[in-house]
Amino acid sequence: MNNGELHTLISLPDFKSILTIDDREDCLDFTSAQNPGHEFLHGKNSANSFQPPSLAAFCLVTATFTIEQYCKRWLVLKRHIERIEVYADLLLPLREYPVREVLTVYALGGRDGAGEIIEPDSYQVVPDLEGGEGCDPCGAIEDTVYSLSLSPAYRRGTSLAGIKAVYRAGYGCEEAGPPCGAPADLASACLELAAWNMARYRGRRIGLTGAMRGKGQDGEHLELSMPENVRVLLEPYRRRII
């Protein structure tokens, strides 16, 4: 499978190389009709062109989604559309970060959809994407909340109720090939969690941790969680709600 089709923080070839996974053994032990990872990896309409799903890919994608749920934010590079109401403040925080590129900003003046396009010279991205490492698709970027700063002149000349921002945010590259840009600790967390998932799938159950739901009565059970070392690596990337 092309790595560009996978929702992962590290590349599948790198993951398989580090764990020395043999391609001949890298498949789930279910048929296409029974396999819960088939639609997850290949989509619902791919039954006619079914290929044995990769266990490594399934564990890697599962680890990435688990990390994003734990951090309460999207981390893999993707396109976002966000509506933001405008009041007195001209600095408008964007929900997803790090922002890689602002594609279009629309002015919303009423109840219906997008209005006119706000020209780039009427707003600024904070922190600045121009002329720094943040503008390099594979360079180091600052993991902090990004905002759009509207020009006071533009704000005075319009009856602006809100904006619709279309932007790309997250770590990785959209082109085929190994993704880049994920910080070393974030990539390590994904690698370790994916390897932990694979070990659990194979029955070794190493590094098993969890918390008991309730008092263990009436069908309550041990709820699995990620290893503590992965939590420590992810702590700087969790969304903070103030």
Q: What's residue 190's pLDDT?
A: 95
**Is 69 exposed, middle or buried (CB count within 10 Å of its CB: 0-12, 13-18, 19+)?**
exposed
pLDDT of residue 101: 92
Digit-coded pLDDT (tens) for 133-151: 444 444 457 889 999 999 8
Contact 98, 134 (CB under 8 A): yes
Q: Tell which wins on pLDDT, 181 or 32.
A: 181
Give the tokens for residue 176: 């085929």
Name the band, by pLDDT with cuts 50, 70 and 90, for residue 166: very high
* 99, pLDDT greater than 70: yes
CB 236 within 8 A of CB 185: yes
- Among residues 87, 106, 84, which one has the least CA distance to residue 95? 84
- Choose between 126 and 109: higher pLDDT: 126
pLDDT of residue 182: 86
Question: From CA 26, how far away is CA 180, in angstroms rounded?
Answer: 24
Residue 80: its pLDDT value, please?
Answer: 97
Give the predicted TM-score (pTM) of the model: 0.75
Q: What percent of the chain has pLDDT over 90?
A: 38
Residues in contact with 94: Cβ distance below 8 Å, sequence separation at least 6, in sequence order: 80, 82, 84, 145, 146, 147, 148, 165, 167, 169
Q: Can you give the residue ranges of every domain in the chain?
A: 3-74+182-237, 78-169
Between 30 and 10, whose confidence is greater? 10
Query: Residue 191, exposed/middle/buried by CB under 10 A (0-12, 13-18, 19+)?
Result: buried
The whole-number average pLDDT for the span 79-92 is: 90
**Looking at residue 4, what is its pLDDT?**
52
Residue 169 confidence (pLDDT) = 94
Note the pLDDT tens digit of each residue in 18-33: 888 877 666 665 444 3
Q: CA 83 to CA 102: how far, in whole Å?
A: 14
User: What percent of the chain is helix, strand and coil (3-state, nearest 5)?
Assistant: 35, 20, 50
Q: What's the start-to-end Cα distance of the chain, in Å?
A: 41
- For 113-130, how does the pLDDT look when each residue is reduced to its tens digit (9 = 90+)? 557 899 999 999 999 776
Range of lowest pLDDT (5-14, 71-80, 216-225): 216-225
Amino acid letter, residue 193: L
168: helix, strand or coil: strand
**What is the chain's mean pLDDT, rounded?**
76
